[in-house]
Each structure stands twice: as structure tokens, then as C-alpha cells.
Amino acid sequence: MSDLAEQLRPVTAEEWPQFARAMSETFGDDPTGPFVESPSPVAELDRSLGLFEDGRVAATAGIYSLQMTVPGGAAVPTAGITWITVVPTHRRRGVLTAIMRRQLDGLHEEEREPVAALWAAESSIYGRFGYAPASRRGGWTGQTSRLALRRDVDTGSGRIRVVDAHEFRAAAAGIHDTVRRSVPGNMARDDRWWDRLLRDEPDQRHGYTARRHALHVEADGTVTGFALYRLKSSWSETSEPEGTLRVGEVRSTTPTAYAALWQFLLSHDLVRTVDAPMASDDDPLRHLLADPRALHARPVDALWLRLVDVGRALSARRYPSPIDLVLEVRDDFCEWNTGRWHMWGHPAGAFCDRTDRDPDLSLGIEDLSAAYLGGVSLASLQAAGRVREISPGAVVNASTAFSWPVTPWCPDEF
């Protein structure tokens, strides 16, 4: 493994086509699109890793420099782990471990992002490196015949406008920047990431229409919400319409705008099924429906987190109730995190530093990472035998303090 690890290095722009093709082929895709021959605008080649052997790319990896909202509204620098592949000929040779080692050691030594995040193509891979699922996506579907809003829902006096991508982006960017600050797990989007989100390649539509863009506009002209969606036409053997509307994202700054956007989405002719694969696990839409059972959720893990620097990460977020505890943390892969950490926090501030005091709780880095955004209960982890209470009442105290009123959610895959 050591020889292979020493061969890992950043890929150059000239090597990108070979790098991109190896990545696509390992994921089982045919390499297509505009970024096969040259990197996308969000690519950071200086943070990439490639393993080149015998003139071929045997492994790929990369990091995006992201800003993630954490409980309390702060945007914490986050290493977005991406492009992780190892070709079949190099499996079981320690290549993935070498990649994880290089990435996490580098983040620690350079004192860069205190948190790393990824989307796991396979959920059994990343736990041994300290990553844990910290958010879920609701992934719901329903039939339009049952997806009606309650009669008492207020949709306001605004109107919906379907606009082109340019007009949409100008209005939606400001709305997103406002609402993402209150949702743990949301990522900031600069111009590069808006370019990526709104790119609409025909070969990536999978039978759906081009993306459609809707804005909610108040009577005074203020834009207070947006929606992204696509349609797919389908007909039964008896010529009955069986179309599908796929929702990409719905965001708003007011409850009435949110309700009005959903009323619009659920009212399309020729559509029988609506689905929202990237919706929040706690989507407010369920509370707007006359028949809550009409929405069939398929929740699965979404964003996986790993605390790279326990002290800096726990100091960055806020806690809805006071906490003053000592955590004994185990981290077999990043030993600099192992030890006792005194954390103190409340809604307005927090700090976490090393201590020699006796511990109140003992837990692994996976468990701490899972609970970081407030969506996984430390009490639930204790019930699973993964958190050990040393001081009576510490689990209740910590579970309450680590919770957050808003369910963590990340609509941006990377």
C-alpha cells in the first residue's frame, strides 16, 4: 500500500480527460457532457488526487471548498469529499485508505476545514474512516388525485411566474442565501455552484423535459419563493394521461409563498404522480395536505459528516440549551481527536478544548459526527450501545443541547 500511496498526486488540466473517464467508468456510466474534456468551473484540481499506474488512472479523489450552515446559523468551512473511485483491478490493496489518509491528514496539518462531508455511493464504506450519516432526504412520492392542500391553507395574494433560467437565477440566489442560513446542512452557493445547479444537459434529463423555473411574486413585485421542476409525459393503454412531475427544489421566505408554490406544482394537467427525491426528511408540505397519508416518503441517508478537528467543529455551532460536559472521544483513524474535550455552550456561543477532567460521556467520532447537525439523537445512539454515560443525566443533557429545531437537510449533491 505504501508504494501506491506515494503515487497519489493532484491531477493536471491536461490529465483531466483521462481522470474523468476513469471516474465515470468506475461508477458504471458512459462519460458524457461538457466536462469530460475539461474540468467544470467548481473543480479544484489542486485538491484532487489521482493514482496513475501503467499509463492508466487507477483511483480518483477530490475536495470542494464549501461553506455549510451549522446549528446557530454560522457557515463553517467544510471539505466536500468527491470523485472517490478505485478501479476493480486495484481493490483490496489499501488505495481508498491511502486516499482518506492523505485527505484528512492534509486538512488537519493545514488547519483548513474542521469538518468534512460526502455523499456515500455505498453506505458500508465510510464508517471506518469516521464518517456518519448526519442528515436524511425524505424522497417522497404521491398521486395528484390525493395531493390536495387543506382548505384553511393560506396561499396569499401573490402569483406564480414561470421564467427563464437567467431571470430565475437573479431572484432565486438571494432567496437561497437567506433561507439556507437557518437550515443545518445547507451549503452556500456562489456563482460557480449556481452555474452547476442550473446547467441542463439533454443527456442528463432521463426522459424528462428541460428544467422549468417558477418564482412566487408578491403584489408589490417582491420575489418570495422559487421552485425547480421537470415533467415527463406518459399515457396508459387506454390513452389516459399518466405524467410525472419531478420536483427539484422549493424554497421560500414566507409560509404563504411556500404553500402557493406547492399549490401550483400539484395543479398541473396530465400529471398523475409527483415526486421529490431530494426533499427534506421533514418537508413542511406534509402539514399542508388534507390527506397526510397521500405523501409516501422513502427516507434514506443523505449528507455524511466527519469532524476533522473536534475542538474547532464543536466551537463553531450553537446549542439550544446550556451544556457543560467533558466528552471522551475515540478516533482510531485521526488520533489527534482522541482524548477528553471540555465543551461549554448555549444559544449565543460555545467553546471546546482539551482537558484532563473526568469524562461525563464516552463516544466514538462516528457518533459525534452523526449528532453534529442536530438530526441524530445521542440518546438513540446510547440505546444502540454506541454512547456510554458516565455521569448520571449526561446523555439527556447532551441530547437536548445537540438537538436543533430545524431538521438538517442538504439539497446539493456533490
Q: Which of 226, 264, 402, 414 is catalytic?
A: 414
The three grid cell numbers given for residue 130, joined into one nine-digit string: 469516521
> What's the average model confidence in pLDDT over 71-95?
95
Query: How confident is the model over 164-179, as pLDDT tens digits?
Result: 999 999 999 999 999 9
Burial classification of residue 97, based on how many CB atoms lie within 10 Å of its CB (0-12 exposed, 13-18 middle, 19 or more buried): middle
Q: What are phi and psi of 346, to 5 degrees?
A: -160, -175
For 148-300, the fitting CATH number among 3.40.630.30, 3.40.50.10860, 3.20.20.80, 3.40.50.970 is 3.40.630.30
Helix/strand/coil for 305: strand
Quick check: 399 and 377 in contact, CB under 8 A? yes
Average pLDDT, rounded, for the chain: 96
**In this model, does residue 29 exceed pLDDT 90?**
no
Query: How confident is the model over 145-201, as pLDDT tens digits?
Result: 999 999 999 999 999 999 999 999 999 999 999 999 999 999 999 999 999 999 999
Quick check: 390 and 382 in contact, CB under 8 A? no
> What's the average model confidence in pLDDT over 255-271?
98
**In this model, does residue 1 exceed pLDDT 60?**
no
Alpha carbons within 13 angstroms on the beta-carbon side of residue 71 total 31
> What's the average model confidence in pLDDT over 238-267?
97
Query: How confident is the model over 286-308, as pLDDT tens digits?
Result: 999 999 999 999 999 999 999 99
From residue 178, alpha-carbon distances to 173, 253, 298, 317 in Å are: 9, 8, 28, 18
For 2-113, the fitting CATH number among 2.60.40.1290, 3.40.630.30, 3.40.50.10790, 3.40.50.300 is 3.40.630.30
pLDDT above 70 covers what percent of the chain?
99
The full DSSP string for 23-91 is HHHHTT----STTSSS--TT--GGG-EEEEETTEEEEEEEEEEEEEE-TTS-EEEEEEEEEEEE-GGGT
> What's the average model confidence in pLDDT over 235-245?
93
Q: Spell out a b/e string for 367-376, using b for 16 or more CB atoms within 10 Å of the CB, else e.
A: bbbbbbbbbb
Pairwise CA distance, residues 220 & 209, whole Å = 32
End-to-end CA distance of the chain: 28
pLDDT of residue 2: 55
Among candidate residues 195, 200, 172, the one with its CA nearest the CA of residue 41: 195
Count the neighbouring beta carbons within 10 Å of the beta carbon of residue 153.
Answer: 18
The three grid cell numbers given for residue 31, joined into one nine-digit string: 462519460
pLDDT above 90 covers what percent of the chain?
92
Intervals of CATH 3.40.630.30 along the chain? 2-113, 148-300
Pairwise CA distance, residues 120 & 13, whole Å = 26
**In this model, does residue 85 exceed pLDDT 60?**
yes
Q: Which of 19, 35, 64, 126 is catalytic?
A: 126
Pairwise CA distance, residues 266 & 396, whole Å = 42
Quick check: 308 and 334 in contact, CB under 8 A? yes
Query: How confident is the model over 325-346, as pLDDT tens digits?
Result: 999 999 999 999 999 999 999 9
Helix (H) or strand (E) holding 213: strand 212-217
Q: Does the active-site annotation cover 126?
A: yes
Pairwise CA distance, residues 116 & 78, whole Å = 5
Pairwise CA distance, residues 176 & 188, whole Å = 8
Q: Does the active-site annotation cover 168?
A: no
- CATH assignment, 309-402: 3.30.1050.10
Helix 191-198 vs helix 165-179: angle between axes, to the nearest 10 degrees? 120
pLDDT of residue 6: 82
From residue 208, alpha-carbon distances to 140, 200, 231, 259, 404 in Å are: 18, 11, 5, 25, 37
